[in-house]
A and B are shown apart, each in its own frame.
Chain A
Amino acid sequence: MTHRFNQTVIISAEALSQEVNGETVVLDLKTEQYFGLDKVGTRIWQLINEHRELQTTFDVMKEEFDVEGDRLESDMNMLLTEMMKSGLITLENQA
Chain B
Amino acid sequence: MIFDEYRNAQYGDAIRKCVDSESIVLDLGAGLGLHGFMAAKAGAKKVYLVDPATVLNVAEMVGRSNNLPGVIQYENKKIEEIQIPGSVDIIISVFTGNFLLTEDLLPSLIYARNKFLAPGGKMIPDRALMEVVPVTSTEYYDKNIDRCSSPTQGIDYSLLRKFTSNRLFYCNKENFKCDYLADPVEILDIDLMTAEKAECDNKLTLTMTKDGVCHGWLGWFKAHLGDTWFSTSPKDKETHWNQVFLPLDPPVPVQVGQAMSFELKRLEFGEWTWTVTIDNVRQRHSTFLSRPLTLVELEKKTTNHKAQLNDRGRIVLDVLQKLNGNKSTEDIASTLFESHPDLYLRQSDAMRFVINLIERYT
Distance of A49 from chain B, by nearest CB (Å)? 14
B294→A29 contact, CB < 8 A? no
How would you classify the secondary structure of chain A's contact residues: helix, strand, loop or mixed? strand
**Chain B residues whose CB sits within 8 angstroms of the CB of A21 once the complex forms:** 294
The distance in angstroms between the C-alpha atoms of A72 and B270, with both chains bound, is: 35
Which of A3-11, A31-39, A51-59 forms contacts with chain B? Answer: A31-39
Asked if B298 is an interface residue, CB under 8 A from chain A, the answer is yes
With contact pairs A29-B265, A33-B302, A34-B301 given, residues A20 and B292 touching in the complex (Cβ less than 8 Å): yes
Binary interface encoding of chain B residues 271-303 relative to chain A, with 1 for a CB under 8 A from any of its CBs, else 0: 101000000000010101100111100110111
Q: Does B267 contact A (CB under 8 A)?
A: yes
Q: Which A1-52 residues sit within 8 Å CB-CB of chain B?
A: 16, 18, 20-21, 23, 25, 27, 29, 32-38
Interface residues of A, CB < 8 Å — how many? 15
**Separation in Å of the B282 CB from the closest CB of chain A?**
10
Find out whether the CB atom of A34 lies under 8 angstroms from the CB atom of B302. Answer: yes
Contact among A23, A29, A32 with B295 in the assembled complex (CB-CB below 8 Å)? A23
Picked from A16, A29, A32, A36, the residue with its CB within 8 Å of the CB of B298 is A36
Is the Cβ of B267 less than 8 Å from the Cβ of A32? yes
Contact among B294, B301, B302 with A20 in the assembled complex (CB-CB below 8 Å): B294
Give A35 to B284 CA distance when docked, in angstroms: 19
Instruction: Assess the A20–B288 pair: CB atoms within 8 A.
Output: no
The residue in A21, A27, A33, A37 that gathers the most chain B C-beta atoms within 10 A of its C-beta is: A27
Contact B288 A16 (CB under 8 A): yes
- Which residues of chain A are near B286, meaning CB under 8 Å? 16, 27, 29
Taken residue by residue from 298 to 315, chain B's Cβ proximity to chain A (1 for < 8 Å, 0 otherwise) reads as 110111000000000000
Instruction: Give the distance in Å from the alpha carbon of A25 to the alpha carbon of B298 in the complex.
Output: 7
A23: chain B residues at CB < 8 Å are 294-295
B303 cross-chain contacts in A, Cβ below 8 A: 33
Closest chain B residue to A22 by CB distance? B295
Contact B284 A16, beta carbon cutoff 8 Å: yes
CA of A21 to CA of B271, assembled, Å: 22
* Residues in B neighbouring A37, C-beta threshold 8 A: 295
Known: A16-B288, A33-B302, A36-B298. A25 touches B271 (CB 8 A): no
Instruction: Give 6 CB contacts A-B under 8 Å.
Output: A16-B289, A18-B292, A18-B293, A20-B294, A29-B265, A33-B302
Which residues of A does B touch, CB under 8 Å? Answer: 16, 18, 20-21, 23, 25, 27, 29, 32-38
New A-B contacts (16) at CB < 8 Å, excluding given A20-B294, A32-B271: A16-B286, A18-B288, A18-B292, A20-B292, A23-B295, A27-B271, A27-B286, A27-B288, A29-B273, A29-B286, A32-B267, A32-B269, A32-B270, A34-B293, A34-B302, A38-B295
